[in-house]
């Protein structure tokens, strides 16, 4: 095939009818996002033509210069020569891979010869080799700015952007490189491989940025202007690597046309890819079948399915593909005939039997599977599929009685799998109801046992126990029903009955029996006997059995952690791909804080042994999140939860952390809303650490209301406690939900009466900060009814009344009670001083306030402010100014945290008072209480017309 754009495939009609969009989904094994037609805004973006995209791409800032930057080299000759020598030495160090010596030499050269593009490029190369792409990119940007002909740096910057998933910036760099190549007077000696390389990379960047139409145009041009550079260069080597994957690029072009809803164009590119050759022929085949079906070419799709089945070694991985093709119009009869031939030719493999069952109508499929089981009765996958078909309704060819019979037979042959067989039958029949109806009446022991298992699955343990009892009566030697019934008795704590049922099985070496006997011993507190029984059973047994896990659990329960860990490791050595054992070891290491190295060894083993296992990918995603590699973690999550599939609740927290790390506020909001709904409904437990991160995320994003909502949900999910009540009440107050705040505090005070005074004071403080002084006083008064002698409550309410200038005698009595109980508390002494100030007894007030200043904690700005006001009232203005200044300086200290509502605006008020006195005016000091006469010799409260301080009482 030539390198030109492929034409219509030979034999295809010129015009084809397109199946309506969405009627044919992509086949299994193909990422739906890569080939599904786009809609909405994504479609509009995809359709943007190339010229418009290029016009809108911003020119990188470092490429916008019109004149080269000034050359500040010292031209005395000697520095230039020294720079050349250092440059040569740096280049030599690069050739010997001594990157850090190269950096040192080149940076010295750059200091002597600034803005020299070769030096800057070489520094970019050195830092790239050293793994520091940030520094490398900086030097390449400077090199490109210094030399308009430096296309290598521009292309490399684009490659860096591609690797960092900065698609628009990458496209801008590649487009800039192409513009420079096409500019009049462009250097003809530039490496001819740079142009096709930049064009190919531009197409890649446009595709990733969502510009499908523009990307297709550039890819098409790339194929039309194919270049095979002969000179060896970095660009030529990269281009050769891309040329070797031309089939994959053509396949990508087909995908682009599907996203643009152009299946005919997609088909042409897929056909070209098939002629050229691709690494994964199966993925191309699936795309071709999908495209044929979209185009309504059913016969062609059928031929390609058959070609796949007839390839040597084919058929084993095509079960889903055959079913997919049949569901979307391919003839089941034609496929079944070819499948039957292949089935016989290849020795009747189970994979082809299953594929044929997908292609045939139910009755014929069931007959085929029966014949297969006649020759291979132990084939579990085929038996499972046959039971599924038989459990269908009779109108669809089902036969429930046969499904029951086959499940009974399989359970007898594989007793350890019998519960799983019963669960599969229940699922295939759509529930236990139809099955139990069929199993009424006389039955043998095996059918009664199956009935008991179905009743157990149905959550009816008493009825299940009766069924197992019937089975034992019908066949006293039957082990299955005896084991099941003993397990039910242990569930209800009836140890005696369980042990009686297990007594006849004392000599059994069956793992299920031994496990039950161990469980019975553990429940009766005979742990040592349980461990001895396990050790005897395991003496000659393989470490691959389930009893090894029971032994490990028992050892861990006894606190014998090293032995428990070693038992699990022995089991893992016997079953190196068993995810369940890895999960138990991970849980153990998670619980033990001193086993980090063991955890790391286990994770490395998982990555080496079961890299594609679900558990491994979950651990990988968690590890990437811990490393803050959120984009990579998202890619791993996508393999666990492909778009269009159900969301896995187990991965919710990882998904939230990834969205937070990627700064996707809308996604975080949606995910956390779903998560919190599940928490409220009781389907999940709130994870404190995740909710803290999410709250901080919204706080950093400036969405304080949402952050407060998350914090509220976090504390609401916690069990009742004093701490919970304190935090919830504070959060409710921030949201203006006063009633809820009061309710949560009242509930906590009932549960924790000893903490009542503190809770009430906290609530009152919050209400006061919220501006609801009346509610704060009401809360304190109510609490005092319950705790009349509490010093904190007496002081809080007494000070509040004093500050308002009302009920001053009551206030003084309350504060006196607090001072008598705790005479050394600075806040109480201040309160007493303040109530005397409000009573206009300024001498007594100063005495108390000075005592408060001397007490521990007495350097509080509010106490000092009170002292200053009192000094001023006593005519000691100079001392008042000095004291007010002390308070102001405290408030102005770097990092000072205000915790008192009275501190808000205090610095400004202090400065105003100081300025007023300095200017000979009366400052706005606090007024006295309502109805209190100020002594004639006391200084005035404020200059005429000055407003009283907010929250302080005015003269009556």
Is residue 947 a contact partner of residue 929, using CB atoms and an 8 Å limit? no
Average pLDDT over residues 247-265: 93
Q: How far apart are CA 150 and CA 910, in angstroms?
A: 64
Question: pLDDT tens digit string along 61-84?
Answer: 777 654 444 454 444 444 578 888
Predicted confidence at residue 955, as pLDDT, reads: 31
Q: Which band of pLDDT confidence, cut at 50, 70 and 90, is reported for residue 293? A: very high
| 568-572-575 Cα angle (round to 5) | 140
**pLDDT confidence of 948, banded at 50, 70, 90?**
very low
Instruction: Determine the pLDDT at residue 728.
Output: 85
Q: Tell me the C-alpha distance between 74 and 936, whole Å.
A: 84
User: Cα separation of 913 and 864, whole Å?
Assistant: 13
Q: Are 556 and 568 in contact (CB under 8 A)?
A: no
User: What pLDDT is attached to residue 270?
Assistant: 94
pLDDT for 510? 83
pLDDT of residue 41: 86
3-state DSSP of 466-517: HHHHHHHHHCCCCHHHHHHHHHHHHHCCCHHHHHHHHHHHCCCCCHHHHHHH
Q: Please, which pLDDT band fits residue 755 given cuts at 50, 70 and 90? A: confident
Q: Would you say the pTM of this structure is higher than 0.75?
A: no
**Residues in contact with 583: Cβ distance below 8 Å, sequence separation at least 6, in sequence order:** 615
- Cβ neighbors of 822 (< 8 A, separation 6 or more) are 791, 828
What confidence tier does 946 reach under pLDDT thresholds 50, 70, 90? very low
Q: Is the dihedral of CA 94, 98, 104, 105 positive or negative?
A: negative
Q: What is the pLDDT of residue 622?
A: 87
The whole-number average pLDDT for the span 820-830 is 93
Q: Which two tokens stand for residue 872?
A: 């001023």
pLDDT at 315 over 60: no
Averaged pLDDT, 619-624: 89
Q: Which of 236-250, 458-472, 558-572 has the lowest mean pLDDT?
A: 236-250
pLDDT digit string (tens) for 394-411?
666 678 888 999 988 888
DSSP conformation class of 650: G
| Tens of pLDDT, residues 689-722 | 788 878 887 877 777 888 888 888 888 888 888 8
In this predicted model, which residue has the larger pLDDT, 294 or 179?
A: 294
Confidence band of 923 (pLDDT split at 50, 70, 90): very high
Res. 8: pLDDT tops 60: no
What is the band of 313 on the pLDDT scale with cuts at 50, 70, 90? low
Q: Which residue has the higher pLDDT, 124 or 443?
A: 124
Q: Which residues have CB under 8 Å from 909's CB, separation 6+? A: 865, 924, 949
Backbone angles phi, psi at 576, to 5 degrees: -65, -10
Least confident of 628-632, 644-648, 731-735, 855-859: 644-648
With 0-12 / 13-18 / 19 or more C-beta atoms within 10 angstroms meaning exposed / middle / buried, residue 845 is buried
pLDDT of residue 442: 61
| Angle, alpha carbons 588-590-595 (nearest 5°) | 80
What's the pLDDT tens digit per position in 167-201? Answer: 888 888 888 888 888 777 666 667 777 888 888 89
Per-residue pLDDT, 843? 94
C-alpha–C-alpha distance, residues 318 and 563, integer Å: 46
Indicate the average pLDDT of the chain.
83
Distance between first and last Cα of the chain: 103
* Orientation of helix 756-769 relative to helix 791-804, angle to 10°: 20
**Burial class of residue 61, CB neighbours in 10 A (0-12, 13-18, 19+):** exposed
Cβ contact 49:213 at 8 Å: yes
Q: How confident is the model at residue 821 (pLDDT cuts 50, 70, 90)?
A: very high
Q: Look up residue 565 and give its two tokens.
A: 């860990």
Cα separation, 63 vs 71, in Å, equals: 17
Average pLDDT rounded to a whole number, residues 787-810: 91
CA dihedral 889, 890, 894, 900 (to 10 degrees): -130
At 487-539, the pLDDT tens digits run 899 888 999 998 899 889 888 878 888 888 888 888 888 888 888 888 887 77
Summarize pLDDT for 236-255 with one digit per residue, the tens. Answer: 777 787 778 888 989 999 99
Question: What was the pLDDT predicted at 764?
Answer: 86
Higher pLDDT pick, 930 / 897: 930
Q: What is the pLDDT of residues 853-904, one digit of tens each?
A: 999 888 999 999 999 999 999 999 999 999 999 999 988 887 777 777 788 8
Lowest mean pLDDT among 65-79, 298-312, 468-482, 597-611: 65-79
| Closest listed residue to residue 19, CA positions, set 213, 204, 348, 261 | 261
The highest-confidence range among 237-246, 277-286, 630-639, 862-871, by mean pLDDT, is: 862-871
- Confirm if 85 and 114 have CB atoms less than 8 A apart: no
pLDDT at 250: 93
- The residue-averaged pLDDT of 126-154 equals 83
- Minimum mean pLDDT range among 224-233, 318-327, 755-764: 224-233
Q: Please give the residue that has the higher pLDDT: either 935 or 810.
A: 810
- % of residues, the chain, pLDDT over 70: 90
* Residue 354 to residue 384: CA distance in whole angstroms: 10
pLDDT-above-90 percentage for the chain: 23
Q: Which tokens belong to 780? A: 């304190």
Q: Who wins on pLDDT, 646 or 350?
A: 350
């Amino acid at each position: 095939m030539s390198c030109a754009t492929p034409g219509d495939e030979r034999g295809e009609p010129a015009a084809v009818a397109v199946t309506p969009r969405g009627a044919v989904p992509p086949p299994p094994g193909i990422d739906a996002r890569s080939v599904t037609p786009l809609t909405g805004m994504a479609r509009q973006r995809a359709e943007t033509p190339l010229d418009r995209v290029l016009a809108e791409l911003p020119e990188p800032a470092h490429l916008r210069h019109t004149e080269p930057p000034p050359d500040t080299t010292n031209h005395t000759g000697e520095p230039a020569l020294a720079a050349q020598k250092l440059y040569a030495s740096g280049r030599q160090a690069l050739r010997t891979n001594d990157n850090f010596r190269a950096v040192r030499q080149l940076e010295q050269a750059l200091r002597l010869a600034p803005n020299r593009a070769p030096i800057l490029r070489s520094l970019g190369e050195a830092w790239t080799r050293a793994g520091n792409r940030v520094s490398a990119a900086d030097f390449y940007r400077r090199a490109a700015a210094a030399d308009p002909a430096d296309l290598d740096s521009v292309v490399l910057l684009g490659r860096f952007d591609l690797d960092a998933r900065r698609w628009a910036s990458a496209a801008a760099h590649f487009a800039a490189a192409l513009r420079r190549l096409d500019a009049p007077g462009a250097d003809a000696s530039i490496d001819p491989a740079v142009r096709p390389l930049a064009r190919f990379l531009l197409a890649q960047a446009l595709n990733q940025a969502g510009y499908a139409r523009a990307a297709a145009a550039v890819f098409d041009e790339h194929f039309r202007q194919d270049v095979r550079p002969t000179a060896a260069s970095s660009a030529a080597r990269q281009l050769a690597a891309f040329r070797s994957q031309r089939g994959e690029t053509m396949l990508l072009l087909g995908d682009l046309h599907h996203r643009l809803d152009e299946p005919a164009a997609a088909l042409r590119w897929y056909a070209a890819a098939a002629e050229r050759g691709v690494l994964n022929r199966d993925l191309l085949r699936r795309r071709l079948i999908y495209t044929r079906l979209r185009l309504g070419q059913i016969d062609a799709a059928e031929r390609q399915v058959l070609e796949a089945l007839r390839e040597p070694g084919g058929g084993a991985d095509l079960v889903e593909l055959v079913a997919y093709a049949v569901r979307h119009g391919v003839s089941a009869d034609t496929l079944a005939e070819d499948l039957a031939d292949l089935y016989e030719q290849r020795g009747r493999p189970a994979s082809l039997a299953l594929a044929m069952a997908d292609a045939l109508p139910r009755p014929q499929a069931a007959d085929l599977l029966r014949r297969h089981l006649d020759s291979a009765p132990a084939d579990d996958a085929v038996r499972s599929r046959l039971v599924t078909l038989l459990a269908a309704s009779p109108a669809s060819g089902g036969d429930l009685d046969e499904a029951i019979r086959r499940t009974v037979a399989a359970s007898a042959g594989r007793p350890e799998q019998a519960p799983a067989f019963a669960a599969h039958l229940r699922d295939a029949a759509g529930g236990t109801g139809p099955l139990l109806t069929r199993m009424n009446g006389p039955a043998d022991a095996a059918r009664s046992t199956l009935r008991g298992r179905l009743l157990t699955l149905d959550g009816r343990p008493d009825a299940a126990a009766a069924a197992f009892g019937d089975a034992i009566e019908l066949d006293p030697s039957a082990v299955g029903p005896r084991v099941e019934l003993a397990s039910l008795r242990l569930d209800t704590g009836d140890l005696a009955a369980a042990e009686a049922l297990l007594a006849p099985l004392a000599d059994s070496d069956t793992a299920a029996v031994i496990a039950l006997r161990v469980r019975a011993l553990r429940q009766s507190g005979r742990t040592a006997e349980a461990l001895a029984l396990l050790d005897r059973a395991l003496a000659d047994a393989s470490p691959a059995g389930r009893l090894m896990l029971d032994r490990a659990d028992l050892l861990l329960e006894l606190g014998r952690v090293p032995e428990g860990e070693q038992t699990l490791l022995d089991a893992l050595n016997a079953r190196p791909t068993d995810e369940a054992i890895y999960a138990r070891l991970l849980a153990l290491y998670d619980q033990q804080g001193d086993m980090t190295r063991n955890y790391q060894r286990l994770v490395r083993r998982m990555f080496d042994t079961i890299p594609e296992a679900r558990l491994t990918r979950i651990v990988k995603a968690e590890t990437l999140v811990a490393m803050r590699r959120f984009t990579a973690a998202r890619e791993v999550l996508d393999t666990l939860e492909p778009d269009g599939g159900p969301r896995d609740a187990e991965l919710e927290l990882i998904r939230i952390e990834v969205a937070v790390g990627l700064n996707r506020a809308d996604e975080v909001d949606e995910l956390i809303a779903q998560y919190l709904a599940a928490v409220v409904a009781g389907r999940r437990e709130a994870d404190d650490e995740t909710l803290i991160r999410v709250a901080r995320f919204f706080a950093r994003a400036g969405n304080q209301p949402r952050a407060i909502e998350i914090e509220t949900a976090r504390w609401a999910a916690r069990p009742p406690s004093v701490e919970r009540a304190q935090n919830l009440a504070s959060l409710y107050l921030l949201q203006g939900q006063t009633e809820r705040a009061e309710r949560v505090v009242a509930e906590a005070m009932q549960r924790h009466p000893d903490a009542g005074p503190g809770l009430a004071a906290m609530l009152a403080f919050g209400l006061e900060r919220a501006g609801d002084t009346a509610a704060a006083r009401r809360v304190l008064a109510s609490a005092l009814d319950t705790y009349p002698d509490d010093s904190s409550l007496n002081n809080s309410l007494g000070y509040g009344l004093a500050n308002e200038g009302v009920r001053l005698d009551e206030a003084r009595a309350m504060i006196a009670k607090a001072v008598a109980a705790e005479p050394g508390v600075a806040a109480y002494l201040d309160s007493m001083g303040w109530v005397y100030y409000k009573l206009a007894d300024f001498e007594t007030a100063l005495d108390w306030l000075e005592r408060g200043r001397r007490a521990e904690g007495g350097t509080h700005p509010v106490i000092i402010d009170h002292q200053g006001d009192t000094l001023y009232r006593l005519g000691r203005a100079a001392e008042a100014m000095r004291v007010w200044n002390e308070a102001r300086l405290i408030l102005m200290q770097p990092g000072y945290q205000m915790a008192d509502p009275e501190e808000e605006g205090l610095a400004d008020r202090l400065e105003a008072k100081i300025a007023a006195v300095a200017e000979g005016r009366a400052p706005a000091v606090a007024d006295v209480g309502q109805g209190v006469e100020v002594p004639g010799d006391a200084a005035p409260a404020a200059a005429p017309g000055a407003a009283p301080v907010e929250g302080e009482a005015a003269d009556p």
